[in-house]
A and B are shown apart, each in its own frame.
Chain A
Amino acid sequence: MTKRMTSDEFSLLVGTYGAHPERWPDEHRAAMQSFLQSHQPALATISREGKLDEWLDRRFNPASDSLQARLMADMQSQLSSLDTNRTTSQPVPLSTRRTFISAAVPLAACFLAGIIFAPDALDLIFGRPDILASIDLFADEFLLN
């Protein structure tokens, strides 16, 4: 003979194990099923918990540990080669460019200053303005011959 069940007991067990009789504890299953057949309001509890069971079933079965490990290993080997390619073709870092610019600018300034002030400097050293004209003449001669 199955033990009689109260409405509270029924709600408590369905709230614990859900709406599927196969998950109900063996020792209560028969009493719960008979309670369900004779108590219409119990259907509301079953319907509410049945919805939750249905929603929980929407979770995908997780991937096996071995598949996850294989995917991670593949990803690491593929992406590390991508990363290496990127390093060889990537633009020069900003700090390197800054160093280059800071060295080149004073060098260019010295070169420009040399062009502008060289005649005056020569004039100062030799005190003879015609020396440049002589060099010029000599160069013309050399180039024409």
Chain B
Amino acid sequence: MMTAYQSSSEIERMSLLDDDALMAEIGSGNQFAGHVFIERHIGYVLNLCRRKLGREAEAEEAAQDVFASVWKNARHWQAGQAKVTTWLYRVADNRCIDILRRRKPDVALDEAGDPADDKIDIERAQQAADQNRLIRKALSQLSQDQQQAIELVYYREMAQREAAEMMNISLPALESVLRRARQKLHIELAGYRVQLEMV
């Protein structure tokens, strides 16, 4: 039985591996590698499925199926043949087409997606995933209260007073936390301007 410390250090070790090495570990049954793989790619896969399907429940169903394919095929993965994210994109795309067809059985395959745009779409999806990673990394550099303030006011669009109440602080204190958070984000993201402005 592994202790919590051993588990976390094993997860840390796995998170240093690139996608190909992680697939090899998954193929040999390493659950820590599976854990890291989910954390690394869930945003990318779910975002793709959300974009293609537009319905949260269906997007979740598709994402679950995509990861089931990963567990099933990891043993046969050959490093260097394709990027893992490109393969994930194709699996997600096919699964979304199946779901769209189920929704409306008479949809022709070429109406569901134009294969000519596939390459551009894959690049865009990977770019979006990279940008997502940069933002998450910058947010993780904030203190706990700064992260919470940004989450509540920015991402959950909560009213300032409500957010302050939830954090158990005064409104001026919330404003100060938010201001410092944004200043820090400017600093953290300054070096990634080029990547972040790609659309």
Contact = CB atoms under 8 A, between A and B. Distances in A.
- Are the chains A and B members of one assembly? yes
Interface of A: 12, 15-18, 23, 25, 48-49, 52, 55-56, 58-64, 67-68, 70-72, 74-76, 78-80, 82-86
A71 B42 contact: yes
Nearest to A83: B29
Interface of B: 26-31, 34-35, 38, 42-44, 46-47, 50, 60, 63-64, 67-68, 71-72, 75, 128, 131-132, 134-136, 139, 150, 153-155, 157, 160, 175, 178-179, 182-183, 185-186, 189, 196
28 contacts: A16-B175, A16-B179, A16-B182, A23-B154, A23-B157, A49-B182, A55-B131, A55-B135, A55-B189, A55-B196, A56-B135, A59-B136, A60-B44, A60-B128, A63-B43, A71-B38, A71-B67, A72-B35, A72-B38, A74-B71, A75-B71, A79-B26, A79-B31, A79-B71, A80-B29, A80-B31, A83-B28, A84-B29
A70 B27 CA distance: 20
A75 B31 CA distance: 7
Contact of B189 (A17, A52, A63): A52
A118 B188 CA distance: 85
A25 B160 CA distance: 7
